[in-house]
Structure 1
Amino acid sequence: MSNLSASSALNQFLFRQLDAWLDQPLNLVAAPAGLNWQQLAAAFANTQHPLRVWTNDWRSLQLAQAAGIQSFFTAEQAPNNLAGRSLVFWPKAKEEGYWWLGQLAKIPHEQVLLAGETNGGVKALAKQLQGAGVLVNKTDSARRCALYTLDSLQPAKALIAENTLDQQGFGLGELTLVSQPGVFSHGRVDEGSALLIATLTKQLTISAGKALDLGCGCGLLGAWLLKQHPKLQLTAADVSGFALNATRATLQANQLKGKVVAADIFTGLDECAPPEGYDLIISNPPFHTGKATDYELASRLISQAPNYLRKGGELWIVANRFLPYPDLLQQAFGNFIIAAENGKFRVYKAIGGKG
């Protein structure tokens, strides 16, 4: 199921049930960006009850706030006031989902609802919760999505604790890395990033200037850059609040300094991006939305990168071999090289920028 169709189905759930939910405050927990925020705001505008959003996705935060909805970001604040009804959107990262359930289990609320794609784990979760003693009722289903009502999360505290990984430390050479549930490659160095680091070790000639780590995750690539090239000025950006917290923790653990900012690829960076452009942009860009392959994020990264690089600045990305990035790089830069590859991944280098 594509991200668009999944969001459409989730919107259907919301608005088919919404009239019955206007009698008390509604908390949208782990809210995805594709909801109809303006319509949600309008529905609650004529009630005495607040609508609130708790999200790990910076895009959701921006859209909800633009609609005038009170919103909270995990990079800044964990849930601490969930009075009323709480609707949890089960995320693609199971560990992140259990983290949200753990937050809800700590805080009194009137009712917990659970929505998500059936092939994204929500159906299996409902069975697990039932097995733990939670009364689970299926309220709605359509287009491979489902909505459940839970009576209480208290019986599932042991199940939630078992599946919730706390902040986790691990290493790469002299680097101490700190990860959190829901962050890409949680608790390990993924093979693609390892290939990119090995390639940069041999081929990177930029040792000073301004560097940008896009989709920073736990901060691995940016922290490695600063360790190897202390004269670089680093900006690390991610759309995930958990990733931003993990990157800050990684930089602190290694006594490194960098600017950590929320951004959706380059959206959100204009206020802090150097006018002359970055000297270096590195990324291990995501290519999934839920379980579906999605090139939109990497396509935006590649197509917009020349606008954020100084003349002669370098873009380095690593990606699975099957992804159609050569055509995108050729269109954006006019030229590129495959700097390294193995049976699964390729490292691409492109030079371009302003001027």
Structure 2
Amino acid sequence: MDAAIETLFLPLKNGDVPAGARTLFIGASAHPYLKELKNVDIWQPFKPLADTLGGYDVRTLENIPAERVYDLVLVNVPKQGEEARYWLACGLRCLNPGGTILIAAANDAGGGRIQKWLKDLEVETDSLSKNKARAVWGRRPENKPKLLEQWIDEGSYALLQSGDGEEFVTQPGVFGWSKIDIGSGLLAEQFDNPKLKGRGADFGAGIGYLSRELLIDENAVKELHLMEADARALVCARENMKGYEGDCTLAYHWTDLTKLQPQIRGGLDFIIMNPPFHTGAKTDIGIGKDFIQTAARTLRKGGTLLMVANRQLPYEAALSSLYSTVRVVVERDGFKVIEAVV
């Protein structure tokens, strides 16, 4: 089990933190003790983790509430700084007076800094360390902390300027939130090699950068599915695609692309993708291989996959086992663009 999640629930198990009449779990993940809590709301924007919570008696939220309605807020603190501080500030904001915030992070994901962050929010804290992780907790201060709104503003939706002057809505924590990925830029340059047309999908669409670049130059795309595991990124993508639809029908899917996609009926003509290759801080090419397999099952016979990857990642064997032809279109700046035809 995840070290941070296991450590997060220890203060509740030990009685150091009382259970609340109403609880919010930000960045929720499955844990047996979650079933011991009553009246629980959860917010988890990452689809694979959200899917693990289906067997719990909890209410799923699309957004973190701004109202003071909770007696206890749990936060599974992410590694990215602005994102993490945003989650903490939002969690503190929605506590009832005297309510408790309980947070945790693995030591290698910032566990050593989370107590300071709560102190920066004027919370008097207690803590424990176990499982190479740290849990910190404390009560909501009587007065509004000076940094609360600043941290919420810094972690909210914002505009990203691309290198060619385009603007994209983004948010700290989503992929490519602070700059356009070099690999994605290289992939976008190849959209006329081969020319993409008909029905297609953007696997791991993120904030919609690749989809928008595709539709700027291609009027032969009639249907495009933006498929993404991070619900926050899809919110950005919807905003970023406004005005670029033309004659193309757009559909947005919050989904886990390591699994089959039954919502896509009929084989697609093309798929574009820049698949993730990290689980936490570790390189994990298994995710990319799963994307490749899902793409092969979603494309029609003769359909095209156009993908980008770091040059050293060995995807060619997986591609050759599922596609009739595989070729490297271009290699540059440490990346390679690969075309594979079913």
TM-score range, shorter chain: 0.7 to 0.9
2:75–2:91 contact (8 Å) kept in structure 1: no
Equivalent residue number for residue 137 of structure 2: 149
**CA pair 236-225 structure 1, distance change in 2 beyond 3 A:** same
Return closer, same or farther for 1:164/1:23 CA change in 2, 3 Å cut-off.
closer
Work out whether 1:30 is the aligned partner of 2:22: no
CA distance in 2, matches of 1:149, 1:64: 24
Question: Partner amino acid for 2:24?
Answer: N
Letter in 2 for 1:43: E
Residue 67 of structure 1 aligns to a residue in which SS? coil
Write the distance in 1 (CA, Å) between the matches of 2:153 and 2:237: 25
Contact 2:73 / 2:95 at 8 angstroms: preserved in 1? Answer: no
Residue ranges of structure 1 left out of the alignment (5+ in a row):
none
Whole-angstrom CA distance in 2 between matches of 1:124 and 1:350: 45
Which residue of structure 1 lines up, in the alignment, with residue 95 of structure 2? Answer: 108
Q: Which residue of 2 aligns with 1:43?
A: 36
Give distance in 2, aligned partners of 1:83 and 1:165: 21
Tell me how large the CA RMSD over aligned residues is: 2.6
SS for the counterpart of 1:312 is: strand
Paired with 1:278 and 1:248, the residues of 2 have a C-alpha distance of 21
Check 1:97–1:42 CA distance in 2 against 1; reply closer, same or farther (3 A cut).
Answer: same
Q: Would the alpha carbon gap of residues 162 and 180 (structure 1) be closer, same or farther in structure 2, given more than 3 Å must change?
A: closer
Change (3 A) 1:281 1:50: same
- By how many angstroms is 1:194 displaced? 0.7
State the match for 1:286 in structure 2: 276
- Give the residue type in structure 1 aligned to 2:133: C
Counterpart of 1:186 in structure 2 is 177
Structure 2 partner of 1:72: 61
Q: How does 1:46-125 map to 2 (within 5 A)?
A: 49-74=38-63, 78=65, 80=67, 82-109=69-96, 110-125=99-114
Q: Is the 8 A contact 1:29 1:54 kept in 2?
A: yes
Map Cα deviations across residues 71-126 of structure 1 (whole Å, 9 max, x no partner): 1134xx75656412111001133332222223224323311011111221232232
- The match for 1:321 is 311
Paired with 1:303 and 1:255, the residues of 2 have a C-alpha distance of: 28
Deviation at 1:300, TM superposition (A): 0.8
* Structure-1 residue corresponding to 2:157: 166
- SS of aligned partner of 2:196: coil
Cα distance in 1, alignment partners of residues 14 and 185 from structure 2:
51
Partner of 1:229: 218
Alignment identity in percent?
23
| Partner residue of 1:259 out of 208, 232, 251 | 251
Matched, 1:126 2:115: yes
Which residue identity is paired with 1:136? T
Q: Which letter does structure 2 place at the counterpart of 1:248? A: R
TM-score normalised by L of structure 2: 0.87
Aligned 8 A contact 1:25 1:84 in 2: yes
Once the two structures are TM-superposed, the CA of residue 213 in structure 1 deviates from its matched residue by: 0.5
Picking from 294, 297, 303, the partner of 2:287 is 297
1:202-221 counterparts in 2 under 5 A? 203-207=193-197, 209-221=198-210
> Helix, strand or coil: the match of 2:185?
helix
The 8 Å contact of residues 95 and 165 in structure 1, kept in 2 or not, is answered as no
Distance 1:171 1:56 in 2: 25
Give the unaligned 5+ runs of structure 2.
none
Name the structure with the higher helix share. 1
Scaled by the length of structure 1, what TM-score is found?
Answer: 0.84
- Deviation, 1:12, is 5.0
CA drift at 1:334? 5.2
For 2:320 and 2:79, how far apart are their aligned partners in 1?
32
